[in-house]
């Protein structure tokens, strides 16, 4: 038997076996007594026994299985149920059907070297609602628009196979299988190549903290969950309990899928605070180590962004500094501080925000809470960013899929604030010291909502989702104002972008991103200067040619500052040595 160390990095799925078109199929399945491979090339399947390799890994002898071959597995000698491959690359008939063998030619080799977070402008999109067609091929047609806007990084909401033909992507149960409604694997590979041709990097949103409720056959193969830890979705993914080595390898092979097989430029990792791991090396460290190795082999930069609900710098510190090695993290607190001021909302986690002081703190530190008492959490929360972190590692936003879609009707900010407040908030985050993330459509004032939608096949589950959403928003419902049915196709269709442009908003985004492109990208927290007096916040960065001034009040302000006005909202202007800022007005001035 092979030594155990050989099993820490085994490829999974349908693997090429020589130049004659044959393949070997490898599965990690310690939960099964035995497995048989079923190949569907004719009316009746051909069945092949899988042989043990050790430590729960099974592999077939080389078999003829060209691209397009349908296949699956029978467990424990029973042929009444065909299971898809846990590492299936494509499910032509959905989560309950057979898998399909896929041949992906290597990513197109160019002089592309990826991107780093400093200087990045990220655009988050959902493939199914970004265009009317909802496909990768259709999305390629919008890449020139995004490049001209000033976007150089795309963050694509999850692409794994979920039940049905429409979903946010967070109900995935086959993490390696590309969502069939968006196109075939070849289409996504071509989408990435088209983005690279335009100088745009592509990040994939991945979920390593939970699995969806329908079509999850992974427990039939291996102990994917552990009862040692729990998350909001139930039992946690097993990263540190018995047989965790194979579970960790499964997800690390998923990292390789997106970065090597497809050639993506990085990952956005969902809710890393729900990845429970007390191993000597946290799974995120292993993940960042693997990504770095891929980047070195391919001589390109790879970005890893953690969605983290903790003001904990360890997630984005380098591994040799005691951290997990993520490139950056989403910073919800910046959003909350900005949203709280312009909307006045104080429910839920917004009760910790709402003052200009909170936003000034966010502009200075990225985090708002760095050890202070949080009323919402009823405890002290957070620590300050360390001196060896950089502002570019903090990804900030005015909206994202969560902050829109987790509202009752998925209403966007433009529906709840005046246009002047919207422009002020947009300019503030776009020209902040941090890396901005634009949620699709906000850059031109999209008004179509982005509600939560699913397409399950289990009637009991459908009803449970409906009741769960209704209960979550019970206090907000009244006649004519209720939770959209998540299962209804119309709910999904309502989320498709209209592409109806508000010229004033579109102009502000273009001008702000043009100014941002001329500003420094590599600087430290020590280089950020923020001043706040009442409703006025001003900020600049050492070496930047720009001073930003924002009035978060209902009265006009006269500010004694020098410099030409380069960008303004709501009629801000100069009078002699004074900058006239109207209520909820913003201006950027040239400092040299």
Mean local confidence (pLDDT), 531-551: 97
How far apart (Å, rounded) are the C-alpha atoms in residues 540 and 343? 25
* Per-residue pLDDT at 536: 98
Give me the sign of the Cα torsion angle 366, 372, 376, 377. positive
* Per-residue pLDDT at 3: 44
Task: With beta carbons less than 8 A apart as the criterion, state whether 373 and 380 touch.
Answer: yes
pLDDT at residue 4 greater than cutoff 60: no
Phi, psi of 201 (to 5 degrees): -85, 155
How far apart (Å, rounded) are the C-alpha atoms in residues 516 and 544? 10
* Per-residue pLDDT at 479: 65
Q: Give 195-229 pLDDT, tens digit per residue.
A: 999 999 999 999 999 999 999 999 999 999 999 99
Q: Which helix (H) or strand (E) holds 530?
A: strand 528-533
* Per-residue pLDDT at 2: 40
Task: With beta carbons less than 8 A apart as the criterion, state whether 213 and 164 touch.
Answer: no
* Per-residue pLDDT at 110: 75
How far apart (Å, rounded) are the C-alpha atoms in residues 457 and 581? 55
123 beta partners: 154, 438
Tell how strand 70-75 and strand 35-40 pair up. antiparallel
Mean local confidence (pLDDT), 517-523: 93
* Per-residue pLDDT at 446: 98
- Percent over 90 (pLDDT), the chain: 89
Task: With beta carbons less than 8 A apart as the criterion, state whether 370 and 311 touch.
Answer: yes
Reduced to 3 states (helix: H, G, I; strand: E, B; else coil), residue 122 is: strand
Task: With beta carbons less than 8 A apart as the criterion, state whether 379 and 373 touch.
Answer: yes
**pLDDT-derived band at 406, boundaries 50, 70, 90:** confident
pLDDT at residue 517 greater than cutoff 60: yes
For residue 141, give the nearest of 502, 499, 514, 439 by alpha carbon. 499
Q: Give 290-303 pLDDT, tens digit per residue.
A: 999 999 999 999 99
Burial class (CB in 10 A: 0-12, 13-18, 19+), 319: middle
**pLDDT-derived band at 7, boundaries 50, 70, 90:** low
pLDDT at residue 20 greater than cutoff 90: no
* Per-residue pLDDT at 105: 80
- Residue 307 annotated in active site: yes
- Residue 214 annotated in active site: no
Task: With beta carbons less than 8 A apart as the criterion, state whether 207 and 160 touch.
Answer: yes
Q: Distance of CA 468 to CAs 60, 209, 241, Å?
A: 44, 21, 31
How far apart (Å, rounded) are the C-alpha atoms in residues 185 and 67? 12
Return the residue matching tokens 């397409």: 455
pTM, rounded to two decimals: 0.96
Task: Spell out the domains of the chain, with CATH numbers in brackets.
Answer: 4-100 (2.60.40.10), 122-517 (3.20.20.80), 525-590 (2.60.40.1180)
> In b/e form, how buried is each residue of 510-520, taking b as 16+ CB within 10 angstroms?
ebbbebbeebe
pLDDT at residue 403 greater than cutoff 60: yes
Q: Give 367-383 pLDDT, tens digit per residue.
A: 999 999 999 999 999 99
Q: Give 220-278 pLDDT, tens digit per residue.
A: 999 999 999 999 999 999 999 999 999 999 999 999 999 999 999 999 999 999 999 99
* Per-residue pLDDT at 8: 66
Residue of 205, 240, 270, 420 marked catalytic: 270
Q: Give 132-182 pLDDT, tens digit per residue.
A: 999 999 999 999 999 999 999 999 999 999 999 999 999 999 999 999 999
pLDDT at residue 386 greater than cutoff 80: yes
pLDDT at residue 350 greater than cutoff 80: yes
Concatenated DSSP letters of 242-303: TTHHHHHHHHHHHHHIIIIIS---EEEETTGGG----SSS-HHHHHHHHHHHHHHHHT-B-E
How far apart (Å, rounded) are the C-alpha atoms in residues 226 and 215? 19
Residue of 205, 265, 277, 307 marked catalytic: 307
Residue 165, Cα to own-chain centre: how many angstroms? Answer: 20
Mean local confidence (pLDDT), 76-97: 96
Task: With beta carbons less than 8 A apart as the criterion, state whether 98 and 286 touch.
Answer: no
Q: Give 416-454 pLDDT, tens digit per residue.
A: 999 999 999 999 999 999 999 999 999 999 999 999 999
* Per-residue pLDDT at 21: 77
């Amino acid at each position: 038997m092979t030594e155990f160390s050989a099993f820490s990095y085994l490829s999974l799925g349908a693997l090429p076996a020589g130049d004659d078109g044959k393949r070997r199929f490898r599965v990690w399945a310690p939960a099964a007594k035995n497995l048989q491979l079923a190949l569907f090339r004719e009316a009746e399947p051909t069945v092949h026994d899988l042989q043990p390799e050790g430590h729960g890994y099974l592999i077939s002898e080389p078999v003829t299985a060209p691209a397009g071959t349908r296949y699956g597995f029978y467990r424990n000698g029973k042929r009444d149920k065909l299971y898809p491959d846990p590492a299936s690359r494509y499910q032509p008939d959905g989560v309950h059907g057979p898998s399909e063998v896929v041949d992906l030619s290597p990513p197109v080799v160019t002089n592309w070297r990826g991107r780093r977070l400093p200087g990045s402008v990220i655009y988050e999109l959902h493939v199914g609602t970004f265009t009317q067609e909802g496909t990768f091929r259709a999305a390629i047609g919008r890449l020139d628009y995004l490049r001209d806007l000033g976007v150089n990084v795309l963050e694509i909401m999850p692409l794994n196979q979920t039940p049905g033909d429409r979903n946010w992507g967070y109900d995935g149960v086959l993490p390696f299988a590309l969502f069939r409604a968006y196109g075939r694997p070849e289409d996504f590979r071509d989408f990435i190549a088209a983005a690279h041709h335009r100088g745009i990097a592509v990040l994939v949103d991945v979920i390593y903290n939970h699995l969806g409720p329908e079509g999850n056959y992974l427990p039939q193969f291996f102990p994917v969950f552990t009862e040692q830890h729990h998350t909001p979705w139930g039992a946690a993914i097993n990263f540190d309990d018995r047989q965790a080595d194979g579970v960790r390898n499964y997800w690390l092979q998923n990292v390789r899928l997106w970065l090597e097989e497809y050639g993506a430029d990085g990952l956005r990792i969902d809710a890393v605070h729900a990845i429970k791991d007390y191993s000597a090396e946290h799974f995120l460290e292993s993940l960042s180590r693997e990504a770095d190795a891929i980047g070195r082999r391919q001589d390109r930069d790879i970005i890893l962004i953690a969605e983290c609900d903790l003001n904990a710098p360890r997630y984005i510190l380098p591994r040799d500094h005691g951290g997990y090695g993520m490139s950056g993290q989403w910073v919800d607190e910046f959003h909350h501080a900005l949203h709280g001021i312009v909307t006045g909302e104080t429910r839920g986690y917004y009760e910790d925000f709402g003052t200009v002081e909170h936003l000034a703190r966010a502009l200075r530190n990225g985090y708002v809470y760095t050890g202070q008492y949080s009323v919402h959490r009823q405890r002290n929360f957070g620590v300050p960013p360390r001196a060896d972190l950089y502002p570019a590692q903090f990804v900030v936003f005015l909206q994202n899929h969560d902050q829109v879609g987790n509202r009752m009707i998925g209403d966007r900010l433009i529906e709840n604030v005046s246009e002047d407040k919207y422009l002020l908030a947009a300019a503030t985050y776009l020209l902040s010291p941090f890396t901005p993330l634009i949620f699709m459509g906000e850059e031109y004032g999209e008004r179509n909502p982005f509600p939560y939608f699913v397409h399950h096949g289990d009637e009991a589950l459908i009803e449970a989702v409906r009741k769960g959403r209704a209960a979550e928003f019970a206090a907000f419902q009244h006649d004519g104002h209720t939770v959209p049915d998540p299962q209804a196709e119309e709910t999904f269709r309502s989320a498709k972008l209209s592409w109806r442009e508000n010229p004033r908003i579109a102009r502000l985004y273009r001008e702000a991103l043009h100014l941002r492109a001329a500003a420094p990208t590599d600087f430290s927290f020590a280089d950020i200067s923020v001043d706040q007096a009442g409703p006025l916040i001003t900020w600049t960065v050492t070496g930047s040619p720009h001073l930003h001034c924002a009035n978060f009040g209902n009265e006009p302000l006269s500010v004694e500052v020098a410099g030409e006005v380069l960008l303004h909202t709501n009629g801000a202007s100069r009078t002699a040595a004074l900058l006239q800022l109207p209520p909820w007005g913003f201006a950027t001035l040239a400092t040299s």
